[in-house]
Structure 1
Amino acid sequence: MEYTLRLRPYKREDGTCLSRWLTDRRMLGMWCRENFSYPLTQEQLDGYYRELENDPCCFGFTALNDHGTPVGSFRMSKVDYEKRCVHLGLIVVDPSLRGQGLGEQMVSLAARYGREFLQMDRITLNVFDCNPAAKRCYEKAGFVAEQFKEADFAFEEEQWGNYLMGYRI
């Protein structure tokens, strides 16, 4: 099924979707490192929403399908208007809809928003090496790996490497 995605600002009630999508410890770790704890709770999400409201250099987005239903989410942070750069993070797509190109479309829209509306020259994101599907998605959206940190994050018995990816303007 093909969707035309739309972006809108993240709303507090979108946390319900995030808690449905991030249902296991490993998935949560890939999404946020250790910025949230498992299981994801409404209190944690309320804190996240307050952070978005109070930080002028950080804002969240929700991707909606043709019917206005949330299907993905991401955050723009570290907005630097002088250096003209922004970082994408906390990127997630509804797991039941993965593999349909929604992630690529959402990240492409995020990059377009950064370029056209925020007038950014540099857009970055990070992805763990244990998530090759996400890395391929970001590459399809125009991001290229610029740096790699081996064993950047410890998850249980695993050591995850981390790619810093930059958008080709």
Structure 2
Amino acid sequence: MNKMKLNDAIPMQLMPCTHQDLIGVFRWFNSEKAVFYWAGPGITYPLQIKRFKTDSKFEKSHSYVLKQGRQLLAFGQIYNRLDHCHLGRLVVSPSFRGQGVGRHLVAALLDEGQRQLGLSDGSLFVLRDNKVAMNLYQKMGFVQAEYPETIPLENCLYLRRTEKPD
């Protein structure tokens, strides 16, 4: 996929995800491994809208996309998990990676979690070998924490952020 440059003159906006947005997001994945890294073991490849909406608890999870104008940049979900605004299924379009879109997505989702869920602390799961994501989350103040249940994936870590970094 070709890299595209963000347009600094147009602000990025977090918006509720539509059916059409999901079709665009699904184009970013071309393998079972890529879907697993993004969505976890409960989502199967090839992606199908109806099945994804059911398996991901799409309606209950507050699903959002980050856009710049009409350009689809990223996708993520939020919901209450252990009284934290839990971020799930975070992904940036391959065309816009490495330009700060992930940082903007995480910050916007945490802000939305504060508004929608009344939760100021954040949490997420990440695969240990996803170094790019781990680096981003750590820079944004997330730290590894104990999860009260066994995480069904051996390579998975639970991260929390209890206060906004300076």
Q: State TM-score, norm by structure 2.
A: 0.79
Is the 8 Å Cα contact of residues 72 and 106 (structure 1) preserved in structure 2?
A: yes
- List gaps (5 residues or longer) in structure 1: 154-159
CA displacement at 1:18 relative to structure 2: 1.9
Distance 1:115 1:42, change over 3 A: closer
**Residue-pair matches, total:** 155
- List gaps (5 residues or longer) in structure 2: none
Is the 8 Å Cα contact of residues 85 and 110 (structure 2) preserved in structure 1?
A: no
Is the 8 Å Cα contact of residues 152 and 161 (structure 1) preserved in structure 2?
A: no
Q: Over residues 79-131 of structure 1, what are the superposed CA-to-partner deviations in whole Å (9 max), with x where a residue is unaligned?
A: 26xx7422110111101211111111110111122235532132110100120
Report what 2:36 is aligned to: 29
The answer to whether the aligner puts 1:145 opposite 2:144 as a matched pair is: yes
- How far apart in 2 are the matches of 1:48 and 1:69? 26
Report what 2:158 is aligned to: 164
Q: State TM-score, norm by structure 1.
A: 0.78
- How far apart in 1 are the matches of 2:95 and 2:73? 9
Is the 8 Å Cα contact of residues 104 and 140 (structure 1) preserved in structure 2?
A: no
Percent of aligned pairs sharing the same letter: 22
Large movers: runs of 4+ above 6 Å: 148-151
Report what 1:104 is aligned to: 103
- CA RMSD across the alignment: 2.6
Match of 1:12 among 12, 19, 28: 19
